[in-house]
Amino acid sequence: MSSLRTALIAAALTLAIPIPAQATAGPAITIENGRTQPVFSYADAVREHVYVESPVDSDLDGNLDKVRVDIIRPKESGPGLKVPVVIDESPYYDNSGRGNESEHKAYDAAGNVTKFPLFYDNFYVPRGYAVLNVDMLGTTRSEGCPDIGGKADVLGGKAVIDWLNGRARAFRADGSAVVADWTTGKAAMIGKSYDGTLANAVAATGVEGLETIVPISAISSWYKYQRSNGVVYNYDYAAGLANHVDTDPEAKCQQVRDRMDAEDADDTGDYNAFWSERDYIGGLLGDVSKVRASVFVVHTVNDLNVKPDNFSTWWKALADRNVPRKIWVGQTGHVDPFDFEGRRGLWVDTLHRWFDHWLHGVRNGITGEPRADVEVSPKQWITQSDWPAPSALKTSLYPAADGSLGSKPAAANSAASFKDVAMSETDMVADVGTANPGRVAFTTGELSQDLRLSGTPTADLRVKLDKPTSNLTALLVDFGEDSRVDWRTNEGITDLAEEDCHGESTAADDACYRKVVTNVATRPLEIVARGWIDVQNRDSLSQATPLPPGTYGTVTWLTLPQDYTFKKGHRIGLVLAGTDSTYSDETGTGANVTVDLSRSSVSVPLMLGTPLVDVPKDTTKFRGPGKLDLPKPDTTFRFF
């Protein structure tokens, strides 16, 4: 009898249920099949804007900066019907625009937004949510100066959450005070790239009222965005990006940009207070231990803009604290899940259920489902209990003097040498069976079965130098012709003319967007995992320790994470080199690097049950493909 009662209760929860929490003269929030229903008019929604007072004066004009907040909410919302909030805070509303179609805000004569970028407003407002498009401090119609992940960026966004919960002040354009009497105070932050980074940052402050975040292709540590273990990707990037997103006259924030240039430690590549302020896992402004919000992470393993160690380290830190969480891991480049081919409808529905659960309290079972969705080959997705795949185990691969890569350590006193010069990845992986003074390469034999890598490989080398330091690159390569996601071309997607719609539209703001397809290319190899380190940062990111010339030292570091299947008949390759000019602007030290092969290896998280076959001793039969045209991905301010 009790089981029948339980089943009846569960069935009742899926019926259309108006939420009677507040009396209202119009429609009430309605739930059916575990989802809020579109019972409110999008066309009649309230469109307004306010200016929230932040606790910072980033432009040093003597006044606290105000954050511009554009709001759209159901007409019925107010003291009698309070609604939760979905926030997309961005620096890009008046420059790069938002989404795959680079949408911008449009305003009416009163200064209210008539077109909100993306589908969030079209979809969620009819279902009983307010949607806020927030201009990051120093951008669009907000005051102040952008400081690229620092105090102004973080505390400006936090102030909006505080205002929604009665802890901060806001004003209308005429200077009159305004309170958010139409909201429950429960908020979500969502967004891709910089927008998702702001969500991570605000969550790391522990602000009350932020119930969930959905960081998409987002930064968790700006050091990881612009550094890898002391290797600098781009010089003066923070100041350059600040100038890009700030559409005010350049002179206004020049002193802020000059300060960033002076403090970013480009000359050493070290981690310092500047980067700690911009580290949301364990930095000066906030850290993962303060996170109250649940987290729905979306990232791709081939995002070489916001590189995937930004999600993997954040995800592990969240897991270590048992933060409620969910993850999608794709194979394209810097792409929103709304534009994963064949997944748009599923994404919209999954996000809907996630927000309904955390903001409206709908018991729809989403937190009891498998935690991870993973793309394992072009457009082929699997669902698993977590990421990385729990059954993947670290497997050590050992390079040998004959060019092989196998399951046993190399013979004692065997070594290989190369010179640290700036070299592109294309040149590093070309003709791997031929000697090249700028790199050494090792390959397995042909694989007898498919092998899936899931997680983060570790390079563990014992090296000596003839100079105090050298940059090191480790590449894990799949040698074998195959059709793979072509993430190098337009981040891996191509727009179609056909559209589909998600939400309600008006003449000024439609809910329809172009469909996309995944780019696929057939090539003889793929660089699967990449990792870089400056040898003098082998023991500490914040304090350089030169390696005495002629002395061996151990250098261990993580590559970028991956989820990738090496096919039967392919070969796994390990390439070791100096400065990777594809991703670093450094010139190389010119140091000669000697690798003690007997005490060097790479540890790769692989699925069980697939033995490796050692390469034959006669390696001359495998020359590898020649030089391929692998263009450098365009990462110059493609942070949107």
Computed on alpha carbons and rounded to an integer, the radius of gyration of the chain in Å comes to 26
CATH number at residue 201: 3.40.50.1820
Q: What is the pLDDT of residues 553-580, one digit of tens each?
A: 999 999 999 999 999 999 999 999 999 9
49 as an active site residue: the answer is: no
Band of pLDDT at residue 25, cut at 50, 70 and 90: low
Q: Which pLDDT belongs to residue 227?
A: 97
β-bridge mates for residue 534, sequence order? 471
Asked whether residue 331 falls in the same domain as residue 400, the answer is no
Give the pLDDT confidence score for residue 26 in this predicted structure: 76
Same domain? For 299 and 418 the reply is no
Three-class SS state of 601: strand
pLDDT at 12 over 90: no
The confidence band for 633, taking pLDDT boundaries of 50, 70 and 90, is very low
Last residue of a domain, one of 336, 351, 376: 336
Please provide residue 341's backbone torsions phi and psi, each rounded to the nearest 5 degrees: -60, 130
Cα dihedral sign, 543-549-554-560: positive
**CATH number of the domain enclosing 456:** 2.60.120.260
Q: CB burial class (10 A; 0-12, 13-18, 19+) of residue 424?
A: middle
Q: Is residue 502 assigned to a domain? A: no
Please identify which of the residues 334, 352, 357, 570 carries the catalytic annotation: 334
Is residue 3 one of the residues assigned to a domain?
A: no
Asked whether the bond before 388 is cis by omega within 30 degrees of 0, the reply is yes
Domain identity same for 62 and 181: yes
Q: What confidence tens digit (pLDDT) does each residue in 369-419 have?
A: 999 999 999 999 999 999 999 999 999 999 999 999 999 999 999 999 999
Residues 6 or more apart from 358 whose CB is under 8 A from it? 186, 188, 211, 212, 294
**Count of structural domains, the chain:** 2
Give the integer Cα–Cα distance in Å for 439 and 436: 6
Give residue 353's pLDDT: 98
Q: Is 193 a catalytic residue?
A: yes
Q: What is the pLDDT of residue 486?
A: 98
Q: What three-state secondary structure class fits 238?
A: helix
Is 585 in a helix, a strand, or coil?
coil
Distance CA 285, CA 279 (A): 8
Where among 320, 336, 352 does a domain terminate? 336
The verdict on 256 and 151 lying in the same domain is yes
CA angle 389, 392, 394 (to 5 degrees): 140
Same domain, 291 and 184: yes
pLDDT over 50 (residue 307):
yes
- Across residues 183-195, what is the average pLDDT? 98
Q: Is residue 602 part of a domain?
A: yes
Residues 407 and 291 in one domain: no
pLDDT per position as a tens digit, 74-89: 999 999 999 999 999 9
Whether 83 and 203 have beta carbons less than 8 Å apart is answered as no
Burial class from Cβ neighbours inside 10 Å (0-12, 13-18, 19+) for residue 453 reads: buried
Residue 14 is assigned to a structural domain of this protein: no
Q: Is the pLDDT of residue 352 over 70?
A: yes
The pLDDT > 90 percentage for the chain reads 90
Residue 279 lies in a domain: yes
Query: 104 an active-site residue?
Result: no
Residue 617 dihedral angles phi and psi, to the nearest 5°: -60, -30
Distance CA 229, CA 270 (A): 8
- In a domain? residue 365: no
- Beta-bridged to residue 228, according to DSSP, are 231
Q: Answer yes or no: do 141 and 275 share one domain.
A: yes
Same domain, 312 and 418: no
Same domain, 398 and 314: no
The contacts of residue 576 (CB under 8 Å, 6+ apart) are 399, 416, 418, 439, 440, 441, 461, 472, 473, 474, 475, 595
The answer on pLDDT for 621 being more than 70 is: no
CA distance 148 to 114: 28
* Inside any domain, residue 104: yes
What pLDDT score was predicted for residue 247? 87
Q: What is the pLDDT of residue 624?
A: 56
Local confidence band at 132 (pLDDT 50, 70, 90 cut-offs) = very high
Cβ atoms 20, 27 nearer than 8 A: no
Catalytic residue among 147, 195, 303, 356: 303
Question: Helices (H) and strands (E) in the chain — how many of each?
Answer: 11, 33
Distance, CA of 148 to CA of 154 (rounded, Å):
9
Lowest mean pLDDT among 24-33, 64-73, 186-195, 429-438: 24-33
Spatial CB neighbours of 166, under 8 Å, sequence gap ≥ 6? 179, 180, 185
- State the angle between helix axes of 194-203 and 151-164 in degrees (0 to 180), rounded to the nearest 10: 70
Residue 235 has pLDDT above 60, yes or no: yes
Residue 618 domain-assigned? no
Confidence class of residue 591 from pLDDT cuts 50, 70 and 90? very high
If asked whether residues 101 and 183 sit together in one domain, one would say yes
Residues 235 and 317 in one domain: yes
Domain carrying residue 159: 41-336
CA distance 147 to 614: 52
User: For residue 620, what pLDDT band results from cuts at 50, 70 and 90?
Assistant: very low
325 and 397 inside one domain: no
As given in the structure block, the two tokens for residue 303 are 């995002």
Catalytic residue among 193, 220, 221, 603: 193
Beta strands in 154-228 (DSSP E): 170-171, 183-192, 210-216, 227-228
Is the pLDDT assigned to residue 158 strictly greater than 80?
yes
Q: Nearest 5°: CA angle at 395, between 392 and 399?
A: 150
**Helix or strand or coil: residue 527?**
strand
Instruction: Give the global pTM.
Output: 0.93
